[in-house]
A and B are shown apart, each in its own frame.
Chain A
């Protein structure tokens, strides 16, 4: 199978942009990625895959229409929080298969405000109050605390770390440091999770140009894996998120990680930098375990040792994570890829991880869609 290279990346900052449409955000990111890749006409890429959950019908077509770059196949992809990674997987597979030499992959989103409304929940379940997404996060956080001696202080420490790192990211929504006291003083949304321990749904776009051939500043895409739901577990509404009703199956994240490590030919010990799904503070700690960055039950030690902060052994979410950037579903996975590409090129400025050669990105969300992407120099 052939290699896949990232020839250019672009991003519209994540945040709230009242005057801009989803198409505006997408056009900004796509133009930047194509510019980096040196693509200035329709012949520069043969197909487009776009991740979006709330973008509506033919969302990517509108973006390419704005740029007068339609004509090739354009496919919108939805896989919950992993939508952008799903688009990346399809684009990479098409290049590996020899179908195309160059593919445009991007993600776009303008999320409604407040608790995410998802058509995943049937109306009767909404009426019963069971479409309370943060409550599922809270139940998972409570379980992690029960099983690994985590405390609320550890959850606050994740927020402090990511917000401190986000200060240096011009693409982040929140760029102000917070203290643990600040985090614990914010209101309780669903015990044990306080408001500042939860990421904000928001708006943004990110784009990547994939190629079969390397170029001057390209990095390698070593694995782009998506796993959806869990083996032997029927997908129904009582299991909207993994880890609550089953003990005897591996998590979707672990399934994706193991497949990605095998595909890339690297292991957790080879990683220099990682971006992971910190939808809530406990979710990042759970990801340490599920991605095999630490043994089960020891995520708080990895955090307390400083291993996952900038300057540590394996910095996690040096972009500031979703806690700093916010989460535009379709764009968030590709935002991670943009960050890692910058890190591997060595041009991440004040948040650069020295000598980073191998990076991992992770998302997980509705439908137990989990993605793991591995990049290397």
Chain B
């Protein structure tokens, strides 16, 4: 985990819940990815802690389909 915050107000075009976690993850191979985080409490996260890729159901669209995106979740310690 390279950077993290929580989004407390719905950004434009977003129908999911707030607050939600948001951050930057540095992959073992080097590149950094801007991503949702499953943890929405900034105080519960630390720089450099290991996280892993998950899928995240954000909301349901007008046609009743799940809106699914990627996210990162903290590893179990």
List the A side residues contacting B7 at CB < 8 Å.
129, 132, 134-135, 190
A356 at the interface (CB under 8 A from B): no
State whether B9 touches A115 (Cβ < 8 A).
yes
A142 at the interface (CB under 8 A from B): yes
B62 to chain A, nearest CB (A): 11
State whether B24 touches A245 (Cβ < 8 A).
yes
Interface of B is mostly: strand
List the A side residues contacting B22 at CB < 8 Å.
129-130, 132, 135, 139, 190
Give bound CA distance, A2 to B46, whole Å.
55
Q: Which of A45-53, A120-128, A314-322 contacts B (4 or more CB under 8 A)?
A: A120-128
List the A side residues contacting B67 at CB < 8 Å.
127-128
Give bound CA distance, A43 to B9, whole Å.
50
Give bound CA distance, A130 to B32, whole Å.
15
Beta-carbon nearest neighbor of B43 in chain A: A191
B53 at the interface (CB under 8 A from A): no
State whether A123 touches B42 (Cβ < 8 A).
no
A170 to chain B, nearest CB (A): 31
State whether B13 touches A131 (Cβ < 8 A).
yes
> What are 27 contact pairs spanning A and B, CB under 8 A?
A114-B9, A121-B13, A127-B59, A128-B14, A128-B58, A129-B7, A129-B10, A129-B11, A129-B20, A130-B11, A131-B12, A132-B7, A132-B14, A132-B22, A134-B7, A135-B7, A139-B4, A139-B5, A139-B22, A146-B47, A189-B8, A190-B7, A238-B33, A244-B3, A244-B24, A244-B34, A245-B24
B interface residue numbers (CB < 8 A to A): 3-16, 20, 22-24, 31-34, 36, 42, 47, 58-59, 61, 67, 69
Contacts A121-B12, A128-B58, A245-B24 known; 13 new A-B pairs at CB < 8 A: A115-B12, A126-B12, A129-B14, A129-B58, A131-B12, A135-B11, A139-B3, A139-B4, A190-B8, A190-B22, A244-B32, A245-B33, A245-B34
